[in-house]
């Protein structure tokens, strides 16, 4: 019987067991907690739909910004956002995954290297975003000469999300049962094949959860991008051009542009939809390309 079937049978057996009053109370509390989380999301979504759905047209999605955002569309803003996110993921994912593999598979849990790296990650995770903004402006924009550009913004975001991605990936790899490693060693499997064919596909759900957090954090940041990628609303021609992200555009319309609240609500709705689409796409890719590789050893 497969591991998934075993887990399913165990849940069915537990579901048939008689429950006491305390268990029912706990079950209802857990259900209420889950319902409250869903309710918060639905309330936010309902508010955005009420305020921004009327302005969500094809011209708004593809048009250029006019009159400081009071009219026109957000076509260049969407392109800049996707480019910034792409630079961030291309820089952060391989570095973070490699570090997580090092911590989980090649470094002792009580070793000096692991302790130093984990303490550094915990400190970086608590650093305010404005500090990353100042660092990105000084290092990427000035020292490396990138200027206010999509490349500088994406690299700054990569530095911000690395701690969360590394710790999520490390915990996912450590959660893989040691029996898998012992079985691979008994078969004479190399460490590289064990990691690529067994550990990574098995840890795919946890890696996906970490990736979702990374994408959400990257798309929602404003301060780091204000000082690195800039305010420019024109269509970017390359990663060396300045570009305004959706989060920065929403902030600017809400705080600095009188009469821009309606378009800010529409842009916020686009940002939420973009998050849902990206998360759904990552879930599909995980199920399509990763889960099936567990058996291909």
| The model's pTM | 0.84
| pLDDT at residue 1 greater than cutoff 50 | no
**Domains defined for the chain, CATH in brackets:** 73-292 (1.10.3720.10)
User: Given CA atoms 39, 40, 43, 48 in this order, what sign does their dihedral have?
Assistant: negative
Mean pLDDT calculated for residue range 267-280: 88
Give 168-190 pLDDT, tens digit per residue: 999 999 988 888 888 888 888 88
Q: Which residues of 129-158 are buried (b: 16+ CB within 10 A; e: fewer)?
A: beebbbbbbebbbeeeebbbbbbbbbbbbb
Per-residue model confidence (pLDDT) at position 152: 96
Mean pLDDT calculated for residue range 214-222: 89
Per-residue model confidence (pLDDT) at position 216: 87
State the virtual CA torsion across 215, 217, 222, 227 in degrees, nearest 10: -80
| Count of beta carbons in the 10 Å neighbourhood of residue 260 | 21
Residues above pLDDT 70, as percent of the chain: 88
Position 16 confidence tier, pLDDT thresholds 50, 70, 90: low
| pLDDT at residue 275 greater than cutoff 90 | no
Per-residue model confidence (pLDDT) at position 240: 94
Position 291 confidence tier, pLDDT thresholds 50, 70, 90: low
Write down the residue that tokens 């009469």 correspond to: 259
Give 258-269 pLDDT, tens digit per residue: 888 889 999 999
Residues in the chain: 297
């Amino acid at each position: 019987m497969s591991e998934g079937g075993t887990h399913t049978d165990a849940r069915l057996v537990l579901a048939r067991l008689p429950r006491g009053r305390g268990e029912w109370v706990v079950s209802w509390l857990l259900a209420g907690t889950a319902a409250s989380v869903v309710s918060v999301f639905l309330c936010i979504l309902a508010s955005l739909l009420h305020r921004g759905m009327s302005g969500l047209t094809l011209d708004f999605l593809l048009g250029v910004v006019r009159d400081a955002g009071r009219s026109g569309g957000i076509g260049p803003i969407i392109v800049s956002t996707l480019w910034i996110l792409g630079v961030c993921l291309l820089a952060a994912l391989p570095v973070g995954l490699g570090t997580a593999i090092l911590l989980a598979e090649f470094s002792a849990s009580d070793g000096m290297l692991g302790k130093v790296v984990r303490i550094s990650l915990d400190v970086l995770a608590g650093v305010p975003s404005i500090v990353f903004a100042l660092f990105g402006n000084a290092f990427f924009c000035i020292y490396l000469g990138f200027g206010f550009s999509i490349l500088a913004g994406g690299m700054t975001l990569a530095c911000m999300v690395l701690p969360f991605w590394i710790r999520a990936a490390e915990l996912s790899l450590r959660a893989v049962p040691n029996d898998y490693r012992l079985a691979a060693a008994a078969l004479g499997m190399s460490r590289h094949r064990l990691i690529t064919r067994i550990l990574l596909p098995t840890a795919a759900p946890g890696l996906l959860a970490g990736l979702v957090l990374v994408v959400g954090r990257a798309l929602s940041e404003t301060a780091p991008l204000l000082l690195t990628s800039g305010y420019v609303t024109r269509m970017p021609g390359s990663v060396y051009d300045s570009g305004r992200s959706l989060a920065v555009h929403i902030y600017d319309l809400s705080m600095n542009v009188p009469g821009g609240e309606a378009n800010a609500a529409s842009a916020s709705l686009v940002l939420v939809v973009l998050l849902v689409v990206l998360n759904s796409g990552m879930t599909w890719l995980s199920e399509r390309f990763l889960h099936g590789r567990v058996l291909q050893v």
